[in-house]
Chain A
């Protein structure tokens, strides 16, 4: 399965600032996904990032708040913009590995705390 890394692993940020989270995969993948896991909650899909096209956002998530880049087949970034304490969450990226039958594999996550 694909090996996925995320940077930073955790951060503490001030209200009103922005943070960009990086997701790196050790192999080329078509689809990359970004999820949010609020404290004590399950995972919610933010958007899907396909290389060469704009990200597709889920209901309740907008590009101005969570801009996503996907410059190549092994890398993506998610920016959390104009942060508020409600954005404190774990942000996870995942990739779909078609080599193993449409299965998503997850990165270790980025734990974000907004003060």
Chain B
């Protein structure tokens, strides 16, 4: 069965520091992968997605992620974190196309705190 693992429940970084959030997936075929961000009291906003092609994908707000098939990973990175990046980040994999639509499987999420 498809699954997504986010090993880090909480991460704290200083403002201006670099960031890497880890995501590992389990999926038999080439996965569709997503990163979403949820700010406090808000819904989910799509940061970026990977379907195929270039394994380094650029997203909004200065985020990027790299797909590594050999490691079954899709880690999210940002070179310099801003205080407004404090939020919960969810990695997701799309599965089950049998019904003609994607079914998203979410990881447990990583809560990011940013120190001034």
Contact = CB atoms under 8 A, between A and B. Distances in A.
B83 interface: no
Interface residues of B, number: 22
Contacts, number: 53
A45 B106 CA distance: 9
Interface stretch (A11-19, A60-68, A76-84, A95-103): A95-103
Interface residues of A, number: 26
Interface stretch (B13-21, B62-70, B94-102): B94-102
A45 B107 CA distance: 13
Most chain B beta carbons < 10 A, residue from A33, A43, A101: A43
A96 B36 CA distance: 15
B12 to A, nearest CB: 17
24 contacts: A4-B43, A6-B43, A31-B101, A33-B104, A42-B106, A42-B108, A43-B106, A44-B106, A45-B104, A48-B101, A92-B43, A96-B102, A102-B51, A102-B94, A102-B102, A104-B34, A104-B46, A104-B104, A105-B46, A106-B36, A106-B44, A106-B45, A108-B43, A109-B42
Interface of A: 1, 4, 6, 30-31, 33, 41-45, 48, 56, 92, 94, 96, 101-109, 111
